[in-house]
Every structure is written in structure tokens, then in C-alpha cells.
Amino acid sequence: MTEGSLFPITLHGVGLRRGANWVLRDLDLQLERGGITALVGPNGAGKTSLLRLIHGLDVPSCGSLRFAGEAPPQDGMAYAAQAMVFAHTPLLRASVEDNLRLASCAAPTDNRRALLDAALARAGLKEQARQSAASLSSGQRQRLALARAWMLQPELLLLDEPCSHLDQRASAAILQDVQDLAAQGITVLLSTHRPEEIALAQRVLRLEHGHLQTNHEPHHPAPRHSGTDIQGDVSCSPAYACTPQA
């Protein structure tokens, strides 16, 4: 795999098993570069598990995961080109600036200060730079996590319910950040229940009980989600089906 060739990301007949339970089954999916894709479905449908699998935190129990047509290389390059922000992303027990400084280590030495300052401005945290990250509000912590992810300059940004438990004002700031990142060419895949997040997406995927039920590409700009099931075609390949084991 060469640098800059993460896409397309292809899952073929992918399943993920935890103990006796299959949390993902028979997934066929191709994720192209660019835009925002929303991953929707009820709690326990497998949304977080799918994000973790793409990010390399879990390994498929069956099927194949490929980046630009190739299996993930041993050197981890496919995962280094990604960043993931959880609903509650862990932060260092340190200042806001120190949390960002760690992400700046990959940048050339003479660019690090400028990158740090840009990240602080992006998160709206310039005045809190030397403040403990633990003292920030939930919305500020999430904006800090997004700014830290931006500093890595990922090709793919995975967001697991980024506005979970945030108030309307904080959520609006996060969604603006997400739109700004996508406008810079970062591909975004986010899991969500929220209509205002789904409305940002150019593509909507729906998971039910670990199965991909929908591959829907709404007209641009994306319509607001009505709360009903999104219509689309089921894409499952029996040739790559996962066989439950006793």
C-alpha cells in the first residue's frame, strides 16, 4: 500500500464475532474518498464495532477488509492515515496545549508551533491553552479531540456519536467543525442517531442486528431525516457469508 491510497475501503462478507455472538454479519460495503457518510441504526446494531474494525481496533472474524484493493499492511500505514474520535475520547491529564502537542510530533519541527496555534483556534480554546483539559466542558473536550484528530491530517475521520450527551449549542459547534473538516477533503464516517447529523451526510448506511440494511445516497444537499426507515437496497453476498460456529 502506497501513501495516499487508502481508498476505496472495501468490506466483503465481513463478520465480527464476540464470544458466541456475531455483532457484524455478511457486510458488503465500499467507502469512497470524500464527503460525509452517516452510519445509523438502533443501539446494539454494530455501529461502533464497524468503526472499530475499519480503524484496526478489531479484526474481522471472517470476510475481507481492504484499503485500495490491498489487505491492511503489517506496518499499519492504513491505520496511520485515519483518526477516530469517540463519544467520550480519552484526554491526557495535562493542559489543553499538551494534549495537542502530542499530535503535533509527526509534523516538521519548524511547523509545530503554527500547527498548535491553528488547532487551538480551530477548537476555540486559545484562552484555555494552559488550562487542564479535565476542567473543560463536555463540548470543549470534544472540540479538543476533533482538533487533535485534525492535526494528524487523516484521510479518514471516524466519529462515534460525536454529539452524544451535548447540549444544542455545543452540538452546533461540533457539527460545524465536522463540516469544515469534510470541506478540507477529509472523508468522514460518523455513527449517529441525530437527524441534524444525518442531514450533513451525502450517504446514509443503516445497520440492524449487525447486518447492513441500507446503502442510501440522498440528493445533495442531504435532506433532514424524517425518523422513518431510509429506503434503499440491501447489499449482502452469500458467497462470502459468515457461518456461525458451534
Neighbours of 128 (CB within 10 A): 18
SS3 at position 32: coil
The single-letter code of the amino acid at 182 is A
CA 143 – CA 149 distance, rounded (Å): 10
Element (H, E) at 122: helix 112-123
Q: Is 238 a residue whose pLDDT tops 50?
A: no
pTM of the predicted model as reported, rounded to 2 decimal places: 0.86
SS3 at position 14: strand
More confident residue, 27 or 231: 27
Q: What is the pLDDT of residue 104?
A: 87
At a CB cut-off of 8 Å and minimum separation 6, what does 221 contact? 199
CA 114 – CA 106 distance, rounded (Å): 13
HSE at residue 173, side-chain half, CA atoms within 13 A, is: 20
From the DSSP assignment, how many helices (H) and strands (E) are in the chain?
Answer: 7, 9
At a CB cut-off of 8 Å and minimum separation 6, what does 20 contact? none
Question: What pLDDT, in 10s, does the model give residues 5-60?
Answer: 799 999 999 999 999 999 999 999 999 999 999 999 999 999 999 999 999 999 99
Instruction: Pull the grid cell for residue 112.
Output: 509545530
At a CB cut-off of 8 Å and minimum separation 6, what does 164 contact? 87, 88
Question: What pLDDT, in 10s, does the model give residues 103-127?
Answer: 888 777 788 999 999 999 999 999 9
